[in-house]
């Protein structure tokens, strides 16, 4: 399985509904399975949007050795007060720990990242923007490029990567993945970014049906979706 390699800290940004958190959590599980000897943490900075936050999977991640930092409310996922815990920067400051930062949705949510900007530099961190071309706000190459530029402007950080996360949940087909990948390649060329990976929900799409697209295909789970959402 392809598991993208980045610098020690990977900041994952993206529009609300892009599947940003699912991509971050799926990547954390995959990295942990592949390299269990390397300490790994998720820093959940998504304190603006009350839905689908990586800290909601704190227990599952902890069971495989991934520590979750972020909200001051460690035991109550329903607490909506946007307050970060004092230990949120602990793994970022630890050079021996790999970190995935689950940043808030769109450029407004990415604002939260600013307080950590002094800890992030070209030597230790990369930033990736998740794009789902089935979301209205990023439905075209031009709209996706504008979205990436807006996040860069707010954070003061340059995104190195694009993560293509174009799917339709339970209705995803190989054609869905292929169409999204083609748009992502064009967006990467327009913005001069690198396409880190194209994701696919392995529960609904077979790798053999899309393997011709690229060697950077990454399977995402449905960790952030409750089973009652799926009606198949």
CA distance 124 to 218: 23
Is the pLDDT at 72 greater than 60? The verdict is: no
Q: Does residue 3 sit within a domain?
A: no
Q: What percentage of the chain reaches a pLDDT higher than 70? A: 81
Q: Does residue 204 sit within a domain?
A: yes
Helices assigned H by DSSP within 126-203: 141-155, 174-191
Each residue of 105-128: pLDDT tens digit? Answer: 666 667 778 888 889 999 999 999
Q: Give the other-Cβ count within 10 Å of 4's Cβ.
A: 17
Strands 125-131 and 9-14: parallel
Contacts of 3 (CB under 8 A, 6+ apart): 27, 30, 31, 34, 218
Q: How confident is the model at residue 79 (pLDDT cuts 50, 70, 90)?
A: very low
Q: What is the CATH number of the domain that holds 59?
A: 3.40.50.300
Q: Does residue 5 sit within a domain?
A: no
Q: Is the full-model pTM beyond 0.85?
A: yes
CA-angle at 97, arms to 118 and 13, nearest 5°: 55
Each residue of 130-171: pLDDT tens digit? Answer: 999 999 899 999 999 999 999 999 888 899 999 999 999 889
- Residue 209, token pair as written in the block: 């049906």
Identify the domain containing residue 138 by its residue range: 12-228
- pLDDT for residue 228: 35
Q: Please give the tally of structural domains in the chain.
A: 1
Q: Does residue 4 sit within a domain?
A: no
Q: Which residue has the tokens 């992502």?
A: 184
CA distance 57 to 43: 12
Is the pLDDT at 33 greater than 90? The verdict is: yes
Q: How is residue 183 annotated by DSSP? A: H
**Burial of 175 from C-beta contacts in 10 A (0-12 / 13-18 / 19+):** exposed
Q: Does residue 7 sit within a domain?
A: no
Each residue of 84-102: pLDDT tens digit? Answer: 666 888 999 999 999 999 9
How far, in whole angstroms, is CA 179 from its chain's centroid?
Answer: 20
Q: Does residue 122 sit within a domain?
A: yes
CA distance 218 to 184: 14
Cα→Cα distances 226→26, 51, 72, Å: 15, 12, 24
Q: How confident is the model at residue 229 (pLDDT cuts 50, 70, 90)?
A: very low
Average pLDDT, the chain: 86
The residue count for the chain? 232
Q: How confident is the model at residue 232 (pLDDT cuts 50, 70, 90)?
A: very low
CA distance 216 to 75: 36
Q: What mean pLDDT do residues 29-34 have?
A: 95
């Amino acid at each position: 399985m392809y598991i993208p390699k980045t610098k020690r800290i990977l900041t994952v940004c993206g529009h609300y509904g892009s599947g940003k958190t699912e991509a971050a959590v799926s990547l954390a599980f995959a990295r942990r399975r592949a390299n269990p000897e390397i300490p790994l943490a998720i820093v959940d900075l998504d304190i603006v949007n009350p839905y689908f936050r990586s800290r909601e999977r704190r227990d599952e991640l902890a069971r495989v050795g991934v520590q979750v930092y972020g909200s001051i409310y460690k035991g109550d996922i329903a607490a909506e007060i946007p307050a970060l815990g004092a230990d949120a920067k602990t793994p970022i400051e630890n050079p021996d720990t790999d970190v995935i930062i689950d940043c808030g949705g769109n450029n407004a949510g990415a604002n939260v990242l600013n307080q950590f900007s002094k800890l992030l530099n070209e030597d230790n961190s990369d930033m990736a923007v998740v794009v789902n071309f089935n979301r209205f706000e990023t439905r075209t190459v031009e709209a996706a490029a504008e979205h990436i530029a807006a996040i860069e402007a707010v954070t003061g950080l340059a995104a190195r990567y694009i993560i293509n996360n174009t799917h339709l949940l339970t209705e995803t087909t190989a054609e869905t993945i292929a169409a999204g990948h083609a748009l992502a390649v064009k967006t990467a060329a327009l913005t001069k970014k690198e396409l880190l990976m194209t994701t696919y929900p392995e529960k609904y799409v077979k790798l053999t049906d899309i393997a011709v697209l690229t060697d950077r295909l990454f399977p995402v789970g449905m960790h952030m979706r409750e089973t009652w959402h799926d009606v198949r």
